[in-house]
Amino acid sequence: MISSLVFNEAGLLPAIAQDAESGQILMVAWMNAEAFEETVATKKATYFSRSRQRLWRKGEESGHVQHVKDVRLDCDGDVILLSVEQVGGIACHTGRAHCFYKKLTDDGQWLDAEPVIKSPDQIYQR
Amino acid sequence: MISSLVFNEAGLLPAIAQDAESGQILMVAWMNAEAFEETVATKKATYFSRSRQRLWRKGEESGHVQHVKDVRLDCDGDVILLSVEQVGGIACHTGRAHCFYKKLTDDGQWLDAEPVIKSPDQIYQR
């Protein structure tokens, strides 16, 4: 299973989380072998945080856990696709439903095209 | 516009192509700055081929061009999401509709879960 995965020179590969119901792409993060194995074993999305250099159990602080319904691998084995149920309806650390909220306009600007559902201060109780 | 993009140490960032109609994730490839700018200018998905180390105008050999309907950027600026119309209904070089055809089974095997629509020999006329 793990032997089919092609990790990059840092031992990571990108993983896409897609909402199982709506098909919305929620976020992209990275996995090392351990994160992948934990994701499969627990059926909760687990990534490797490049900034913190440790396993990141999605929702560990926010509560916004992703329950994994399906795991896919692409043709060349270097990208994972998770179909997930997003607890709380918020995947992004900015408090939006998903991370892809910057939309390119016809005049070449990035427009914030999705509302903040819950402020990060509330999510992370800082 | 381009200044908002966060490229990795190789000058690349991942780009996801999602079918504009079905929401199916078709493929993930990489873009450098030039590929991104050409994608926006031509409204046809253009990637950077890491194996060939050159611009890859998707469909240049196969005819399976991706017409770009929407361009999104994620919260930390390091992943692009394209909403596309996939010409020919085939995104994958294996002749399948999309690249994420390997499905993880309950017993930990990768199952080829999508049919080959057209053989690569036919697509690339080798």
Region of residue A125 (left: phi > 0; alpha: psi -120 to 50; beta: else): left
A25–chain B nearest CA distance, Å: 9
Q: Would you say B77 and B4 are in contact if contact means Cβ atoms under 8 Å apart? A: yes
Q: Under CATH, to which class is A2-124 assigned?
A: alpha beta
CATH code of B2-92, in short, is 3.10.20.810
List chain A residues with CB under 8 Å of B100.
72-74, 79, 81
Q: What is the pLDDT of residue A32?
A: 98
pLDDT at residue A1, as a whole number: 85
For chain B, 126 residues long, the average pLDDT of each consecutive 10-residue run is 94 98 98 98 97 96 96 98 98 97 96 96 84
pLDDT (tens digit per residue) in A24-59: 999 999 999 999 999 999 999 999 999 999 999 999
Q: Determine which helix (DSSP H) or strand (DSSP E) holds B17, and give its type and residue range.
A: strand B13-19
User: Does A69 lie at the interface with B, CB-CB under 8 angstroms?
Assistant: no
Nearest CB to B71 within list A40, A75, A104: A104
pLDDT score, position B51: 93
Which one of A28, A40, A96 has the shortest CB-CB distance to B104? A40
Which of B25, B50, B116 would best serve as a mutation to test chain A binding (most A beta carbons within 10 A)? B25
Q: B-contacting residues of A 18-57, CB under 8 Å?
A: 18, 22-25, 27-28, 40
Give chain A's residues under pLDDT 70. 126
Instruction: Give the pLDDT confidence score for residue A7 in this predicted structure.
Output: 97
Interface predicted TM-score (ipTM) over 0.90: yes
Contact A117, A101 (CB under 8 A): no
pLDDT at A126: 57
Which helix (H) or strand (E) segment holds residue A48: the answer is: strand A46-49
Spans of all domains in chain B = 2-92
The pLDDT of residue B126 is: 58
